[in-house]
């Protein structure tokens, strides 16, 4: 069995924006929300896997060092690349791309942000990531520190849910979820604890 805790990064400086590759820092409250989850997990985790973006990697590295375990970077759990939407607020996207954000929020299938990654590309890299996790880390308890888009897609894939289901999952800052996989069957133990 592989047990994997999923943690979305905390609140970021600069307010709510589309940030797939933009690497804004955590607020103090954002870091505190992540530390609160880590403090509940610290004695159970064998390995930390993190997105390469600093909002995930900096705390993940510090936590792993504090309990003398390894922290590995895996770019496959990075946030979706939002192309021309990078760094924009919802209001700015609505003004610049009329109707597109509303369609994206309703169902992102078949829609690709100009210059960005498609949901199918995101799904493919998340599926590849999970396949490697199950193959390499049987019997271990991992923490994955990542992003709303990548973690929603991971949960959807593991539950064999359609991509549109990612639009119906709450994933607030600091969201903590757990997945267990045994004998090729995955289950969501809890979500948004």
**124-142 pLDDT, tens digit each:** 999 999 999 999 999 999 9
Domain residues of the chain, as ranges? 2-190
What pLDDT is attached to residue 105?
93
Multiple choice CATH, 2-190, 3.40.50.1580, 3.40.50.1240, 1.10.357.10, 1.10.260.40: 3.40.50.1240
HEC assignment per residue over 94-120: HHHCCCHHHHHHHCCCCCECCCCCEHH
Query: Residue 183's pLDDT band (boundaries 50, 70, 90)?
Result: confident
pLDDT at 143 over 90: yes
Mean of the pLDDT values across residues 24-31? 98
Residue 172 and residue 8 in contact, taking contact as beta carbons nearer than 8 Å: yes
What pLDDT is attached to residue 184?
83
Query: Residue 46's pLDDT band (boundaries 50, 70, 90)?
Result: very high
Query: How far is residue 8's CA from residue 174's CA, in Å, rounded to a whole number?
Result: 5
Query: Angle at CA 113, nearest 5°, toward 56 and 154?
Result: 45
Query: How far is residue 1's CA from residue 13's CA, in Å, rounded to a whole number?
Result: 38
């Amino acid at each position: 069995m592989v047990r994997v805790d999923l943690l979305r990064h905390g609140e970021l400086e600069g307010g709510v924006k589309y940030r797939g590759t933009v690497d804004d820092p955590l607020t103090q409250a954002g870091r505190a929300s992540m530390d609160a989850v880590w403090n509940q997990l610290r004695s159970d985790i064998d390995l930390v896997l993190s997105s390469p973006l600093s909002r995930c990697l900096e705390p993940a590295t510090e936590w792993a060092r504090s309990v003398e375990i390894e922290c590995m970077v895996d770019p496959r759990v990075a946030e979706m690349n939002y192309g021309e939407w990078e760094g924009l607020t919802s209001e700015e996207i609505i003004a610049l791309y009329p109707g597109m954000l509303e369609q994206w929020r309703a169902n992102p299938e078949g829609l690709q942000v100009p210059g960005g990654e498609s949901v199918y590309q995101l799904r493919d890299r998340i599926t590849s990531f999970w396949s490697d996790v199950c193959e390499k880390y049987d019997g271990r308890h991992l923490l994955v520190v990542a992003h709303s888009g990548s973690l929603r897609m991971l949960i959807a894939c593991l539950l064999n849910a359609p991509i549109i289901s990612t639009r119906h999952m709450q994933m607030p800052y600091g969201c903590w979820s757990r997945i267990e996989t045994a004998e090729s069957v995955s289950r969501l133990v809890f979500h948004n604890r």
